[in-house]
Amino acid sequence: MEKFVKHFAEQFDETDASEFTIETRFREFEEWSSLTALSIIAMVDEVYNVKLTGDDIRKSSSLLDVYNIVKSKM
């Protein structure tokens, strides 16, 4: 789970990694954009070999939500 937070945080260029926990509501960062969403999808594909859909991202608000989806698809 710690690794997931680290990988997740790496997809943000302007937001410091220290601001991320598993509870973080990532949409609230000013930096969040459709491109960050694509980076998350790419990261999950690369690291976990899991295919996230647009809906998976849209219905998630915290890192934990995404984490649980990834886990359920592994």
Partner 1 sequence: MALIQINNVTIRGISAAVPKQSQEVKGLPFFSDEEADKFIAGTGVERRRLVEEGVTTSDLCFKAAERLLAEMNWQRDEVDCLIFVSQTPDYILPATSCMLQERLKLKEGIVAFDISMGCSGWVYGLFTMSNLLSGGQLKKGLLLVGDTISKTCSTEDKSTYPLFGDAGTATALEFDTHSNGLKFHLAVDGSGAKAIIIPDGGYRNQYNTNSIQKVTDEEGISRTASDLILDGMNVFSFGISKAPESVNLLSSHFGIDLETIDYFLFHQANKFMNEKIRKKLKIPAEKVPYTLKDYGNTSSATIPFTLTKELGEIASEGTLNYIACGFGVGLSWGSVWFSTDRLICPAIIEV
User: Residues interacting with partner 1, by CB under 8 A?
Assistant: 33-35, 37-38, 41-42, 45-46, 51-55, 57-58
For residues 19 and 46, which CB has a smaller minimum distance to partner 1 in the complex? Answer: 46
Nearer to partner 1, 18 or 34 (CB): 34
Could you tell me which residues are beta bridge partners of residue 62?
Answer: 25
Rounded CA-CA distance 13/6 in Å is 13
**Centroid of chain to Cα 18:** 15
Tell me the closest approach of the beta carbon of residue 70 to partner 1, in angstroms.
Answer: 13
Which two structure tokens, joined as six digits, stand for 32? 């969040």
Find the shortest distance in angstroms from Cβ 15 to partner 1.
15
